[in-house]
Every structure is written in structure tokens, then in C-alpha cells.
Structure 1
């Protein structure tokens, strides 16, 4: 069913009942500090729950300790194989398309500024990278995995932001809906799934329909574990396209926070790229994947490398052809991609396991979001012809 104003507006008024109730109880009892301290030692599925954990938190961990019963494990295995085959390309898409897309939604960019300092995007990028890698491990949902506890903590992190902004009267819920509402969570699910597939296609990566559908399915499972109402989530890639196009048309636009976050993201990856000669490749790749209009909104600088980056799909297309036709070539390219992804992730994490602490307070300079764009919608610009 296609989304309507009524259905999407309803999603803006809904959060996550289970996680919201858990966070509210922890704060009401003054137990959030104890929870954060103890949860640092709870990072693998199946590990004993720490002694002294508040009862409400213990019940939350029990209720969210397993994936949804409807998971198709054969489809999840297809998603894992798709990830293994395309890990470096997926990492590129997440870094240079999905994250900037989040910054293109002004109220989302403002929300992100409440969970980490604007000057430290490496924390979020490292956490996102580790989260995805943990998800695509063969033991992701078994005892000893790091994915399940990470999902449980991220869900509480979202609930804590809703709690703070609502209780401290720093959010106009009547005009803007619930902070990190269901619509925004579904939008985020689209950024990390459908937008990644779009970016791989734009980069010239060869994908099967089955592989793309499996990757999207895996993020539906993730969404369910993060408290997203799957009855409202598009079940197919075609329906996801309708939702994402509508979501971006309703909300995306320029904002100071979005531009600042993008600038810090670019500087972060320029530091990872060896030397300085290739630094301009970073903004050029962002601009190529998000498009010139969005690149201008995010204040992504134009460089002479913009033209060079447009040749990347042709180069990757050649490599993809070699991979398709040669088992040895496929092995070598997969191995190179795996090593590249490991290098990027280790550069961001510095070998650490990323922890998700529930913030006990938010940034004091956080501002109220603009009124929702259903009252003043963005009109898509005319298509830009690229020579």
C-alpha cells in the first residue's frame, strides 16, 4: 500500500513503547548511571546478565534477546554472502552516501548533534561500521555474537533521546511529532539498505536481484530489532522506493548542522586517506553519490576530481567483469575488499569495541527542529544534466 499523508503523519506520533517505558523507569528510579556502568561489561549474546542490573533493564534484555520469529534464515544467509562479495563497496556507500543522506534531513541532523559532539563523527562512523560487520557474521544471532547486545543498546539510545527531548520541553511534538519517530526510523532503515543498493548501482557494481532483495531483507530484520513497526515498513524494494522518495521529498534540505556534520565527515576520511594528494577524492565521491543539488545543500566542495570520480563506475565495471569470469580474480578482489574494509574500520575504531551508553543529558545548545515539511514542502529541482 502506498504511503499517504495520514499514514505517514501517524508514524510521526509514534515511538517505541517497550524501549520508551524501560528508559522512563530507569530515569524515574535514578538507575541510569548504574545501567550504563554495568552494560559496558555486557557485549556478547548469551553472556550472564551483570549482577545489580535494575529489574526493568533485566526484563528488557530478556524481551529483546532474540530476533523476530518470522526471520527467513536462508534469506539471511543470502544477505551475508552478498555482503561478503561487496563489503568494500557497501562500506563506501554507507560512508559517502548513507551518512550524508542522514545529514540532508534537517531535524535528523539536529538529533544526531545530541548524541555526540559535532567535532567527533568518527564515533558514529565506527559504531555504524562495527554494527554492520557484526550483523553480517554467520553467528550474528547466536551465543557469543556482538550484534544482539549492540542492537539492544542502540534501541535504548534512541529511547533516551526521545525521553530527554520530551521531558525537558526541548521538542515541539505537536508540530514535529515524536523525536526519532517511526517514520524517521523507517527512513533510516531505507538509508542503510535501499540507498546503499542505489549507490552500488551508481558505482557500477554487478548485483543480482536476489542479492539485492536479501540485503534489503536483512535490514528489515535489523529494523524489527530496533523497535521499528514492521507493519509500516515496505516489504519489497519497489515499495521501499516509493517510501524513500516520498520521505526525502518531504524533509530533505539544507541546514547548518547538516553542513557541519558533512564537513567533519569529509575531514575524517581525508585523515584516513594516506598523504594529501588524494584528499579531494573524498568530497568528490560524496558529491557524486548524493548528486550536485544535495552536495550544494551539504556544502560539499567542488574539486577537479569531480570529473575523475565519474570514471570510477567504468573502472569498477571492468573489475566486476574480471570477478564474474575468473574464480581466481574473484578470490583476489574479494580478499582485497575484505582487507580494505578491515583497514578502514580499524582506523576508525583504533581496535576498540564501540560501546553505546545511554546519555544522561543532552547537548545544551540543541535547538528545536523546524516545523515538519508537510506544511511547507520542498519542490524537487529540475534534473541536472551531467555531460
Structure 2
């Protein structure tokens, strides 16, 4: 399915390159025509999801979301009064790509829960923080107040979604992970619609809110970056597990509405996408730094304190800073004003040694299975504890309690 820019009769043509981007010519030299594909995608949203959201005023927010959930759980034909926009969305969602093999993905990731402790740390310190080094990509969080308001709640929401799409059966057509991913897609569209009528959104500088280019980079944040970070701290997945991770996120990208021209199939294509993103990303601003300070202060430091021995708990801030510098590199860490620490070098030296230890342990299927069972139990206990400590009972923001700052996904904006 080709994605086309939504027509607008009263809006002047937008420039080909958002003014906030940098080093575009460097990107062209490295990546040729794909760079233009990426730049064009800065002006593209998600026409199918955006069309459904455009029907929300007529349907009513609550009714529209109930229709969406019913279509996920029972199929679009069960929604007798579904608008054509929702039917068109589910024609795409129900059109299973011929390259998808869920059975192979689940078989090859059977024992990945053995690293649940490490992957939870990497989610915050690598995956989420990497996205905060882009002032345009993080701007929707600023304008909706979603992260500074409650860093812990949003991190739990993301972690719960990732757990759901990784469980056996999670990506089946009526699985929990499938529904959550479709809801994430509609949340993006609701935020996009809200920001496009917000005077604070500078489209000439930033392109379309939650544009195709940055949606595609989401796959890098949750595949290439964490797989690399896990190796850096000595918790490497096996080659077949990594291949399955790229396959899983290719399908998730399809469900999220990422156009095939941008949807990376493997590590090489994700590396190219990451390189363009890093070259052209707008400069870090104070809000980016506030985001990092918030997730560190409110979430990562307390979590690291919980896994360190008693006498070392006071070192948790330094451990978080060391991990972020290791994962992000000095250039981005300096822009985000993450303090330098010698502990980064210590972790960088220990990582390869732990890789050798864990590679040896992974040679034995019984070891992988035993550790995976322990990791799965840890993950369940950790989620229950986090939800209890942070008072979070919902899954995604569209189901979060009202109160505090309004959010377009809840239908309490405007």
C-alpha cells in the first residue's frame, strides 16, 4: 500500500526539507536516493489511521474507540455500524504480509526472557533516551505533557506493550499485542490531529507530527539499539534470536502503518535508517534534557537502586549516567548534558567478558530454558511491582484515568 500525503486546499506547499534538520547533504552522500525517501516521509502521516480519527467528531471519541477494540477482538465484520474509514484500516491490518512467519518468530525467541532484567534497564537507558536527542521527535511529548507529567507511568505503558507483543500468541490476529499495537497507531493519529491544529507546532521546521520518518525510527529504537546495548553490557542474544527480533518488528512496523518504502527488513536497513536519523536530527533543546532528567530521576535511578547491593545504592545515578554514555556515545550524551563518569569505561571493559561467559552458558539448551523461566517470573513480578509503586492499572494512555493534563488519546482535549 502506497502512502500519499493528505490533500489540503488552503495550506501552501511545504518545503521539501524541514528547516530544523541538519547535515542533509552528508546524508545524501552516504545514502543516496533513500535520503530523499526519508525527507519526503517527514511530511507524511498515516492516511488510514488519520482518516479514521477524522471521523471521531461525528462518531464520538468513546464510540470510535469501542468500535476499534471490537474490530481488533472480533473482526471488522462484527462492527455492524463501522464507518468506511475503519473498514479501510482493517483491510490493511487483515492483509497479512507474505513474508510474516509468526511461528518461526516465536520458536526462535522462546528463551529470550533469560535477559529480562537487563532488557528492562536497556529499555529506559538506551531505547527511550535515544529518542530524546531529537527535539522535533520528542516535541509531541512536550506539547501533550505526557512525560514530564509522569515518567514512570509512560515507561510502564511502553514496557507493557513490548511485553504483550513478545509473548507467545501476542501477535496473533486476536492477540493482546495485536490490539495494543493498533491502539498505539490510533493514539499516534489522535496526537497528530491535535498538534496539526496547535499554533505551537512549527510544521516548516519539524514536518508532520509523528511523521513516517520518525515512526520508522521507532523500529530502530526497539530493535537495533537494544540488541546492540545488550551486547555492550554482556547479555547477547543468539544470532537466530536477533533475526527473529528484526522479523517481529518488521511486522509491528506494518501494523503501526509504516510505509513499505521505509520499513526496514533487517539489521543493515535499520543501520542505514539510524545513520540518516542521527545525521539529520534537529538539535537537542532544553526539553530533551528535561526528558532525560525526568526518566533518570523518576524511574531509572530508583530501578538501578533496587538491583544494586545495599552499600552501592548511592552509586545508582553514576551507573545510569555510565550506561547512557555507553549506549548513546559521547556526542549525544554531551548534548543531553549527561555527566561523564569513569564508570562508563569499567562497564565497557566488563561487557565483552560477560559476553564470553553468557555465550558459554547459552551453548546448553537446558541452561537457556532454566534462565528463561526465571527471567519470565522476574518480568511478571517486576511489572506487578512497578504498577503497584506507580499506581498504574491501565495499559495505554487512551485508557488512563482522567485528571491532570488533558490528552488527545483520552478524548479530553478541545
**Do both share a fold (TM > 0.5)?**
yes
Indicate whether 1:279 and 2:310 are aligned: no
Gaps of 5+ in 1: 364-387
Which of the numbers 102, 112, 128 marks the counterpart of 1:73? 102
Against the structure 1 CA distance between its residues 39 and 241, is the aligned structure 2 distance closer, same or farther, given a 3 Å change threshold?
same
Q: What is aligned with 2:73?
A: 45
1:6-155 matches, within 5 Å, as 6-27=36-57, 29=58, 31-35=60-64, 38=66, 45-46=73-74, 55=83, 59=87, 62-63=90-91, 66=94, 68-70=96-98, 71-81=100-110, 83-115=112-144, 116-142=146-172, 145-155=175-185
Aligned residues of 1:66 and 1:148 also touching (Cα < 8 A) = no
Instruction: State the TM-score, normalized to the length of structure 2.
Output: 0.76
Match of 1:270 among 294, 297, 301: 301
Map of 1:182-261 to 2, 5 A cutoff? 182-251=212-281, 253-261=283-291
Partner of 2:395: 354
**Partner residue, 2:14:** none
The change in CA–CA distance for 1:173 and 1:179 in structure 2 (over 3 A counts) is: same
| Mapped contact 1:43–1:149 kept (Cα < 8 A) | no
Return the TM-score normalized by structure 1. 0.81
Q: Is 1:289 the equivalent of 2:324?
A: no
Label 1:192 to 1:167 Cα distance change in 2 as closer, same or farther (>3 A): same
Structure 2: stretches of 5+ with no match in the other structure: 1-30, 399-408
Instruction: Confirm or deny: 8 A CA contact 1:126 1:348 kept in the other structure.
Output: yes
Aligned in 2, Cα 1:346/1:57: closer, same or farther, shift over 3 Å? farther
Distance 1:167 1:183, change over 3 A: same
Distance 1:121 1:39 in 2: 30
What secondary structure does 1:171 align onto? coil
Change (3 A) 1:298 1:52: farther
Task: Pick the structure with more helix per residue.
Answer: 2
Shifted more, 259-268 versus 90-99: the winner is: 90-99
Q: How many residues align?
A: 361
- CA deviations on 1:145-175 (whole Å, 9 max, x unpaired) are 2112211211111111111111234323344
User: Which moved further from structure 2: 345-354 or 226-235?
Assistant: 345-354
Question: Any conservation in 1 of the 2:43–2:208 contact (CA below 8 Å)?
Answer: yes
CA contact (8 A) 1:102 1:109 kept: yes
Residue 123 of structure 2 contacts residue 226 of structure 2 at CA under 8 Å; is this kept in 1? yes
Q: Offset of 1:101 from its aligned partner?
A: 0.6
